Structure 1
Amino acid sequence: MDIRLQTFITVTKIKSFTKASEILNITQPAVSQHIKFLEEYYGVIFIKKCGKSINLTVEGKILYKYAIELNSIYRNLEAEFRNKDNINKTYYIGASMTIGGYILPYILADYRNCYKNIDILLQVNNTEEIIKKLLNRTIDLALIEGNFDREKFKYIKYKDDELVLAVSHLHEFAKYKNITLDKVLKGKLILREKGSGTREIFENDLLEMGYDLKDFKPYMELGSITAIKSLVEANLGYSIISKETLKKEVESGIIKIIPIKGLRIFREFNFVYIKDSDEEFVKTFIGFCLK
Structure 2
Amino acid sequence: MIDLKLLTFITVAKTKNYTRAADILNITQPGVSQHIKALEDYYNVKLFYKHGKQMELTSEGRLLFSYAIEVNRMSEMIKHELINKSSIINKYYVGATLTIGGYVLPKIIGEYRKKYENTDIILYVENTEAIIKRLYSGDIYLGVIEGPFNKAKVKYEKFRDDELVLAVSKSHPFAEKKSVAIEEVLQNKLILREKGSGTRKVFENKLIASGYRLEDMNVYMEIGNITALISLVESNLGCTIISKEAVKASVKADKLKIVPIKNFNIMREFNFVYLDQSQYGFIKDFIEFCKNPK
TM-score, L = length of structure 2: 0.89
Q: Residues 47 and 54 of structure 1 are in contact (CA less than 8 Å); yes or no, is this contact kept in structure 2?
A: no
Once the two structures are superposed, residues 164-215 of structure 1 have per-residue CA deviations (whole angstroms, 9 ceiling, x without a partner) of 1100101111111111111111111111122211112112222222212343
Pairing of 1:78-97 with structure 2 (within 5 A): 78-97=79-98
Shift of the alpha carbon at 1:118?
Answer: 1.5
Shift of the alpha carbon at 1:248?
Answer: 1.5
Shift of the alpha carbon at 1:128?
Answer: 2.1
SS at the partner of 1:38? helix
Q: Residues 89 and 117 of structure 1 are in contact (CA less than 8 Å); yes or no, is this contact kept in structure 2?
A: yes
1:145 maps to what in 2? 146
Q: Residues 16 and 56 of structure 2 are in contact (CA less than 8 Å); yes or no, is this contact kept in structure 1?
A: no
Q: Residues 77 and 278 of structure 2 are in contact (CA less than 8 Å); yes or no, is this contact kept in structure 1?
A: no
- Relative to structure 1, the CA distance from residue 19 to residue 199 in structure 2 (aligned partners, 3 Å threshold; closer, same or farther) is closer
Once the two structures are superposed, residues 25-55 of structure 1 have per-residue CA deviations (whole angstroms, 9 ceiling, x without a partner) of 656544332221101122223345689x551
1:170 maps to what in 2? 171
Using the TM superposition, name which of 206-215 and 236-245 deviates more: 206-215
SS at the partner of 1:128? helix
Q: CA RMSD in A?
A: 2.4
Shift of the alpha carbon at 1:123?
Answer: 1.0
Pairing of 1:118-133 with structure 2 (within 5 A): 118-133=119-134
The 2-side partners of 1:282 and 1:178 are apart by: 42
1:41 maps to what in 2? 42
- Relative to structure 1, the CA distance from residue 137 to residue 161 in structure 2 (aligned partners, 3 Å threshold; closer, same or farther) is same
Identical residues among aligned pairs (%): 53
Shift of the alpha carbon at 1:16?
Answer: 6.2
The 2-side partners of 1:41 and 1:21 are apart by: 21
Once the two structures are superposed, residues 59-99 of structure 1 have per-residue CA deviations (whole angstroms, 9 ceiling, x without a partner) of 44443443233112111112212222333222111111100
Once the two structures are superposed, residues 105-136 of structure 1 have per-residue CA deviations (whole angstroms, 9 ceiling, x without a partner) of 11111111211222211111111221222233
Unmatched 5+ stretches in structure 1 = none
- Relative to structure 1, the CA distance from residue 257 to residue 29 in structure 2 (aligned partners, 3 Å threshold; closer, same or farther) is closer
Shift of the alpha carbon at 1:5?
Answer: 1.0
Runs of 4+ in structure 1 off by over 6 angstroms are none
The 2-side partners of 1:23 and 1:126 are apart by: 24
TM-score, L = length of structure 1: 0.89
